[in-house]
Amino acid sequence: MALQDLGELYLDQIRDLYSAETQIVEALPKLIEAASHDQLRAGFQHHLDQTQEHVRRLEQIASRLQEDADGKTCHGMKGLLKEGKETMKERADSDVLDAALIADAQRVEHYEIAAYGCARTYAEALDRMEDARLLQQTLDEEAETDRVLTAIALTVVNPDAGARRTSASRLADVDVTPSAAREVPRAAEPLPRRDREEGGDTPYAGEADLR
């Protein structure tokens, strides 16, 4: 497909997402079967139900474009899911395997979050506001799934996978609410160039005191 304008790029992204989502629909039942923790199995099942709806939304968008949603293979998702298959073949402790499955699933979620964000932005630029609304709805659900997986990992799976090395008191202090998951620590402000060059406060000032 030749990409000559933003409209063609937008359709290309919709088809790429459609391929990604249909691949995920096929993969999630295997993740559900492989998972040991009830919370994780339930999380994967809930996301399977969501993903089937995501496929329908993309079909609806393609229909409004008077195009087929099919016709492209998302090789990025294909590679991520292949890694997940390799994880399931590992001879791992069941708790450790669940931790690895969450890591693989979150890689998938982050890929989708990036892809849906771009598609939504293109829809807005093309004044396709109903498309943008549907894409944003899916984007919100993908982000929430990522937060849920983090919560399951921190409160259930990771402690079980490393119970001998994890302090229960430290886990009790972890806030895994959705609002906390959305808060991203700000990076430290870089020091002014003049201070670094004149030998004043440098990124390594006081380093000897920390050793």
What is the sign of the dihedral through the CA atoms of 144, 145, 146 and 151? Answer: positive
Asked if the structure places residue 15 within a domain, the reply is yes
Q: What is the pLDDT along the chain (211 residues), one digit of tens a residue?
A: 567 899 999 999 999 999 999 999 999 999 999 999 999 999 999 999 999 999 999 999 999 999 999 989 999 999 999 999 999 988 888 999 999 999 999 999 999 999 999 999 999 999 999 999 999 999 999 999 999 999 999 999 999 998 544 444 444 444 444 444 443 333 334 434 444 344 444 333 333 333 3
Q: How far is CA 45 from CA 17, 52, 127, 209, in A?
A: 20, 11, 35, 51
Tell me which residue range forms the domain holding 38.
6-181
Rounded to two decimals, what is the model's pTM? 0.76
Domain harbouring 48, CATH code: 1.20.1260.10
The torsion angles phi and psi of 184, rounded to 5 degrees, stand at: -110, 125
Asked if the structure places residue 192 within a domain, the reply is no
Q: How far is CA 70 from CA 7, 14, 193, in A?
A: 17, 9, 52
**CA–CA separation, 144 and 45 (whole Å):** 14
Number of domains in the chain: 1
